Amino acid sequence: METLSALAFRGYAEYRLGNVSTAPQTLQTALENAVEIEGFISKAFAATFCLPWIADLGETGQVIELYAALHQLPLIRNSVFCKDLIGRQIESLAGEMPQNTVKAARERGQGQDLNTVTAKIFAIFKAHPIG
C-alpha cells in the first residue's frame, strides 16, 4: 500500500515540477494498480493526486465534483496534507466559478463512492490520451 501511495505522490510531484510528459502516466499507473489490488487507501490518495492534472485540463467543474466525493472520506477530509496540496487549489478554482455551478458540482459529488470516482478519472484519462 505504501508503495502505491508513494507512486501516486511521485506522479503529483512530477506534475507540480513540470514533468507533464511523465506525470500523467505515473498517476494513471498508481490508480490502476490501486484498483487492481483493491487498496482503499491507495485508491483514495491516487484519485486525489490526479485532481490538479484534471483541473489543468480545464475540467474544473468535474474536479470540484470529484473532490466533493473524495472529501466524504475521512481519510481525505481529515488530511491536512491533502488540504494543503490539493484542497486549497480546488477551493481557489471554485472561488472563480459561479457559486450555483460550484454548488451543483459539489452536490453531484456527494452521492458518489470511491469506485465511481475512479471510474470517472479513468474516463478522463481515456478522453485525454497520454503521450
pLDDT band at 2 (very low <50, low <70, confident <90, very high): low
pLDDT in tens, 9-62: 899 899 989 988 899 999 999 999 999 998 899 999 999 999 999 999 999 999
Q: How many C-beta atoms lie closer than 10 Å to residue 35's C-beta?
A: 19
Percent of the chain with pLDDT over 90: 76
CA of residue 96 relative to chain centroid, distance: 19
Cα(33)–Cα(106) distance, integer angstroms: 27
For residue 19, the model assigns a pLDDT of 87
Any idea where the domains of the chain sit in the sequence?
Answer: 2-127
pLDDT value, residue 73: 96
pLDDT value at residue 99: 96
The secondary element (H helix, E strand) that includes residue 73 is none
The three cell numbers locating residue 105: 458540482
- 80-92 burial, b for 16+ CB within 10 Å, e for fewer? eebeebbbebbee
When pLDDT is cut at 50, 70 and 90, the band that residue 4 belongs to is low
| Statement: residue 1 has pLDDT above 80 | no
Q: Is 18 left (phi over 0), alpha (psi -120 to 50) or beta?
A: left
**What pLDDT does 70 receive?**
97
* Per-residue pLDDT at 5: 77
Q: Which amino acid is at 87?
A: G
Q: How many CB atoms lie within 10 A of CB 51?
A: 27
pLDDT tens for 74-123 read 999 999 989 999 999 999 999 999 999 999 999 999 989 999 999 999 99
Residue 113 phi/psi, 5-degree rounding, is: -95, 175
Q: Cβ of 6: how many Cβ atoms within 10 Å? A: 13
- What confidence score (pLDDT) does residue 8 get? 87
